[in-house]
Copies of this chain bind each other. A is one copy, B any other.
Amino acid sequence: MATITIKEIAKLAGVSTATVSRVLNNSGGYSDETKQRVLEILDKFNYQMNVVAKSLRTSLTNTIGIIVPDITNEYYALIALAIEKYCAPRGYSIYIYNTDEDPEKEKLLIRDLESRGVDGLIYISGKMSVPQEALKKRLPIVCVNRREEMSQEITVIESDNYQGGFIATEELLNKGCKSIIIIRDERDIVPMNERYRGYCDALKKRGLSLNLELIQPIPFNVSKADECVQNLIRNQIHFDGIFACSDMLAFGAMQALREHGKRIPEDIKVVGFDNITFGKYSFPELTTIHQDKVGLGEKASEILLNIIEKKERPKQSIMVLPVELVKRKST
């Protein structure tokens, strides 16, 4: 399949190659009629035309960048997949950038975003800052389950994290727990803070006071959750319930409980957050807060493509999707 050249376009349009170049660069010095003729030829060959060449003309590349902390985490992967499923049939290709939340990678990322000229960005969770360059360029950006306090031009789609924290804690209270550990990401990020706020309010509603010993901020990582619960048991901290702010953290916590001969849910009850696939196959099967990963990905895509194609931003800058409790065998 041949790419049409400027020379061929010029020949077909009956103008000089210089004129075609000017039209491609949108640099003026030609009549509207000439422009029309050149663009018609481009459109005619559009289907077979190299997107690379087309993007020079429209300044759109029909590419979207997804920025995730770690694609090997199923929660992120499910959102990324939903974005691809929405965008691919609409003619967009997806670049995926894993940041590991690493500043060195961030630098590479910015350079790459610059040079690739993606049409828009979707940030999934994480705390890596949105590059200033992207903001200056007014590149369309949608964030999923993260909030950038610094910019009001970024639309945010998020799960109802507060409600999730609240109902997770209520489930544990309803099952008789009196001393509930919360294992959360140690970073000061909005989704985690909201889940924590839900936890606090659920305790308060029952007239229970906060016990600082039970609040466990850790690096967001399964083996750290395992370690954290092992330490609590060794230090003989009393607890009968665990609200883990992600399913991965819950799996680490359950591992530690099993290792110390604690029965789940008889001795200690556990609720996770996210509802990833493995929760159905863990032992015991994990009670968790379902996040609508597909809905988050689709909504983010829909909003982003509207901004790119129609310059339409939604009126609210934060959209919240509901969560629900999935009861299984760990509570």
Contact = CB atoms under 8 A, between A and B. Distances in A.
Interface of A: 1, 5-7, 16-18, 20-22, 24-25, 27, 49-53, 55-56, 61, 70-72, 74, 77-78, 80-81, 84-85, 88-89, 93-98, 105, 108, 112, 114-117, 133, 222, 251-252, 254-255, 258, 277-278, 280-283
27 contacts: A1-B133, A5-B27, A6-B24, A7-B22, A16-B18, A18-B21, A21-B21, A51-B115, A51-B117, A52-B52, A52-B56, A52-B61, A56-B56, A70-B81, A71-B77, A72-B74, A72-B77, A72-B78, A74-B74, A88-B105, A88-B112, A96-B96, A222-B277, A222-B281, A252-B281, A258-B283, A278-B278
A263 to B, nearest CB: 12
Contact of A25 (B6, B72, B78, B116): B6
A73 to B, nearest CB: 8
B51 A116 contact: yes
Given A17-B21, A281-B254, A98 B84 contact: yes
B98 A95 contact: no
Contacts of A112: 88, 93
A257 to B, nearest CB: 11
A4 to B, nearest CB: 10
Nearest to A278: B278
A53 B56 contact: yes
Contact of A6 (B21, B52, B72, B108): B21
Given A5-B27, A6-B22, A89-B108, 17 more contacts: A7-B22, A7-B25, A17-B18, A17-B22, A18-B18, A18-B21, A51-B115, A51-B117, A52-B55, A53-B56, A72-B81, A74-B74, A77-B77, A95-B96, A252-B281, A282-B283, A283-B283
